[in-house]
């Protein structure tokens, strides 16, 4: 571990990962984790459902697990290389890894926890670095407390400080902020971003929450069943998802099996029929592979509900149907509407009242062409 005294900025190095490993989940969820990517300095979000192989991937980068084949390196320094028989042990990788459980040492104070990784340094240097990082993460006042005596958000900060004080060459964060409220979360993210502006190292941030993707996102890698299914900016990955799994994670409540009926290249649209119905949807013209299943994703919040037949609309998809169920969830009403196919629609309690919506009542659904997202696995 590089532990020089001066605060020289670490040279910027890319984290490169190319690896394969059998992932043995429960039941049918076994697959092969097979990825190849590089992460430059800054945040890279690893996005995917639980069981997509995200934690296994981080474990392999940190050295807690070994891939079956591949190469993992930071800059020119190899950490794992199956070809060369290289597998550096985790305590010599200089990879900071914040475990999901935080794993603060319960018998040590916050300061002792933070200094644990500074074993090779002089006492005075240890104190200085510990003081600095506690200050930076606003937990100086907690230095002599034990983990059980501080709040969840403070524990997150202490664990982050403990990992970062060692000045790792890459940082791995496994859903570090899942349990926190929005305010605490965004404060910690701000401090983390400020820290990384100085350090400029690759940060891999694992999450399955789309809000975090937008909050941190520079680059997003979407992982599904061990494979990278999409990468790009948060907008590219989440608003124009290609894969159904990503679409579900990104909040497309309606995913409909469809068959292509006709293309209208001159209008930039195509007509798709919802399988098992006579419902024709007009969707944006997309390049699709006719031999493979085609699905259309529509967000429940993007569908309009009308209690009278609507007229004079720009929207091309208007369907008559009836309400099968209405459910209040928090400050949102979830309506299920059958118009040959069943759709989930989200509306406000106020809208429900002013339209006098009741189960069994007749309604019209309105969907813009560009609210319909064509999904096909690539």
Half-sphere exposure of 179 (CA within 13 A, CB side): 12
Distances (CA, A) of 81 to 20, 36, 58, 73, 85: 12, 14, 16, 8, 6
Smallest separation, CB 51 to other proteins (Å): 19
User: Which residues lie closer than 8 Å to 364 by C-beta, 6 or more apart?
Assistant: 305, 306, 307, 308, 309, 310, 318, 319, 320, 321
Smallest separation, CB 107 to other proteins (Å): 5
Both structure tokens of 226: 């061990």
Paired with 45 in beta bridges are 205, 220
Q: Of 36 and 68, which has the nearer Cβ to other proteins? A: 68
Paired with 345 in beta bridges are 335
299 near other proteins, judged by CB under 8 A: no
Could you give the string, one character per residue 89-108, with x where binding to other proteins holds by CB under 8 A and - elsewhere? xxxx--xxx-x-x-xxxxx-
Smallest separation, CB 172 to other proteins (Å): 9
Q: Of 99 and 279, which has the nearer Cβ to other proteins? A: 99
Q: Which residue stretch of 14-22, 84-92, 180-188, 281-289 sits at the interface with other proteins (rule: CB under 8 A)?
A: 84-92
116 near other proteins, judged by CB under 8 A: yes
Q: Of 71 and 93, which has the nearer Cβ to other proteins? A: 93
Q: Of 100 and 376, which has the nearer Cβ to other proteins? A: 100
Strand order in the sheet with 31-39: 31-39, 15-23, 69-74, 77-81, 86-87
What burial letters (b/e) apply to 357-374, b meaning 16+ CB within 10 Å? beeeeebbbbbbbebbbb
Q: Of 166 and 371, which has the nearer Cβ to other proteins? A: 166
Q: Which residue stretch of 115-123, 130-138, 292-300, 303-311 sits at the interface with other proteins (rule: CB under 8 A)?
A: 115-123
Q: Of 120 and 349, which has the nearer Cβ to other proteins? A: 120
1 near other proteins, judged by CB under 8 A: yes
The answer to whether residues 138 and 157 touch, using CB atoms and an 8 Å cutoff, is yes
Q: Of 156 and 254, which has the nearer Cβ to other proteins? A: 156
Name the residue with tokens 């989440």: 238
CA proximity to 36, closest of 1, 69, 63 = 69
Q: What are phi and psi of 236, to 5 degrees?
A: -60, -45
Total of residues contacting other proteins (CB under 8 A):
24
Smallest separation, CB 170 to other proteins (Å): 12
Smallest separation, CB 62 to other proteins (Å): 6
Smallest separation, CB 30 to other proteins (Å): 22
Residues 136-175 that bind other proteins (CB under 8 A): 162-163, 166
The answer to whether residues 142 and 114 touch, using CB atoms and an 8 Å cutoff, is no
Q: Which residue stretch of 116-124, 208-216, 223-231, 280-288 sits at the interface with other proteins (rule: CB under 8 A)?
A: 116-124
CA proximity to 230, closest of 372, 375, 73 = 375
Q: Residue from 40, 64, 228, 255 that binds other proteins (CB under 8 A)?
A: 64
123 near other proteins, judged by CB under 8 A: no
Q: Of 93 and 208, which has the nearer Cβ to other proteins? A: 93
117 near other proteins, judged by CB under 8 A: yes
Q: Which residue stretch of 6-14, 112-120, 128-136, 196-204 sits at the interface with other proteins (rule: CB under 8 A)?
A: 112-120
Q: Of 77 and 233, which has the nearer Cβ to other proteins? A: 77
Q: Of 108 and 228, which has the nearer Cβ to other proteins? A: 108
Smallest separation, CB 123 to other proteins (Å): 16
Chain residues binding other proteins by CB under 8 A are 1, 62, 64, 89-92, 95-97, 99, 101, 103-107, 116-117, 119-120, 162-163, 166
């Amino acid at each position: 571990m590089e532990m020089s005294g001066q605060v020289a900025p670490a040279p910027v190095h890319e984290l490169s990962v190319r690896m394969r490993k059998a992932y043995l989940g429960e039941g049918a969820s076994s697959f092969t984790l097979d990825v190849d990517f590089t992460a430059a300095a800054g945040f890279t979000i690893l996005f995917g459902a639980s069981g997509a192989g995200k934690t296994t991937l981080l474990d392999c980068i940190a050295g807690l697990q070994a891939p079956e084949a591949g190469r993992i390196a930071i800059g020119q320094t190899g950490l794992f290389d199956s070809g060369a028989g290289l597998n550096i042990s985790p305590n010599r990788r200089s990879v900071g890894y914040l475990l999901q459980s935080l794993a603060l040492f319960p018998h040590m104070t916050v300061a002792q926890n933070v200094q644990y990784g500074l074993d090779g340094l002089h006492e005075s240097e240890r104190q200085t670095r510990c003081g600095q990082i506690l200050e930076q993460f606003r937990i100086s006042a907690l230095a002599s407390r034990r983990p059980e005596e501080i709040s969840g958000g403070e524990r997150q900060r202490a664990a982050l400080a403990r990992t970062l004080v060692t000045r790792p060459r890459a940082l791995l964060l496994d859903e570090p902020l899942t349990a926190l409220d929005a305010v605490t979360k965004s404060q910690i993210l701000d401090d983390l971003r400020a820290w990384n502006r100085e350090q400029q190292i690759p940060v891999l941030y694992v999450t399955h929450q789309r809000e975090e993707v937008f909050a941190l996102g520079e680059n997003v890698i979407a992982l599904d069943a061990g494979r990278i299914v999409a990468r790009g900016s948060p907008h590219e990955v989440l608003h124009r998802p290609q894969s159904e799994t990503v679409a579900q994670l990104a909040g497309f409540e309606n995913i409909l099996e469809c068959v292509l009926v006709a293309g209208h290249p001159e209008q930039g649209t195509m007509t798709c029929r919802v399988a098992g119905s006579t419902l024709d949807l007009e969707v944006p013209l997309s390049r699709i592979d006719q031999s493979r299943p085609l699905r259309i994703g529509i967000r429940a919040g993007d569908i309009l509900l009308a209690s009278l037949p609507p007229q004079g609309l720009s929207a091309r998809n208007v369907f008559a149907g009836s309400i099968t169920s209405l459910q209040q969830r928090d400050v949102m009403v979830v309506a299920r509407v059958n118009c040959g196919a069943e759709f989930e629609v989200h509306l406000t309690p106020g809208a429900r009242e002013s339209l006098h919506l009741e189960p069994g009542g007749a309604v019209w659904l309105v969907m813009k062409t560009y609210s319909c997202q064509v999904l096909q696995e690539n």
